[in-house]
């Protein structure tokens, strides 16, 4: 079952501050992702809290929202066949220490919280997350 999908990708503050934006975009393009929309923004903590609401009961929620709003991020809509899963595979495991060779988090992730990229985890969440950042 192959179909063209769109997914939301975020280059997180730890990667933007290290000037990794272009290198990470090159990885996506080389793997056949089209960057359909993109913008560099800094969000308020309250917006991060909305974005990560699914994690509101987790012990790391407050730090996570502080972190995502701590500096500029690059938000992108990526398009490709099976983009959602393909992006999750290319990102690698949440904890960079557990990420496979060649994945973005293995290459650039610093720690489980500063793991350089976000990617939607399902078709439903991709729609919600794209709408969240690109209402138009």
Catalytic site positions: 118
Contact mark string toward ligand CDP, 61..80, x via CB under 6 A:
---x----------------
Place of tokens 């066949």: 81
User: Which residue's CB atom is positioned nearest to Mg ion?
Assistant: 121
Binding to Mg ion (CB under 5 A) within 101-130 occurs at 121
Sheet of strand 34-41: strand arrangement: 34-41, 73-81, 4-11, 117-119
The site string for Mg ion over 34-63 (x = CB under 5 A, - otherwise) reads ------------------------------
User: Nearest distance from residue 63's CB to ligand CDP, in Å?
Assistant: 6
Q: Give the residues lining the site for ligand CDP (CB under 6 A).
A: 55, 60, 64, 94, 112-113, 115, 118, 121
């Amino acid at each position: 079952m192959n179909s063209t999908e769109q997914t939301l990708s975020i280059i997180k503050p730890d990667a933007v501050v290290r000037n990794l934006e272009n290198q990470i975009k090159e990885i996506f393009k080389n793997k056949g992702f089209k960057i359909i929309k993109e913008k560099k923004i800094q969000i308020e903590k309250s917006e991060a809290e909305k974005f990560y609401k699914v994690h509101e009961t987790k012990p790391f929620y407050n730090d996570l929202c502080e972190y995502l709003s701590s500096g500029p991020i690059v938000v992108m809509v990526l398009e490709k066949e099976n983009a959602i899963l393909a992006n999750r595979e290319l990102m690698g495991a949440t904890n960079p220490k557990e990420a496979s060779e060649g994945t973005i988090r293995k290459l650039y992730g610093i720690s489980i919280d500063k793991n350089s990229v976000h990617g939607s985890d399902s078709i439903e969440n991709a729609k919600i997350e794209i709408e969240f950042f690109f209402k138009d």
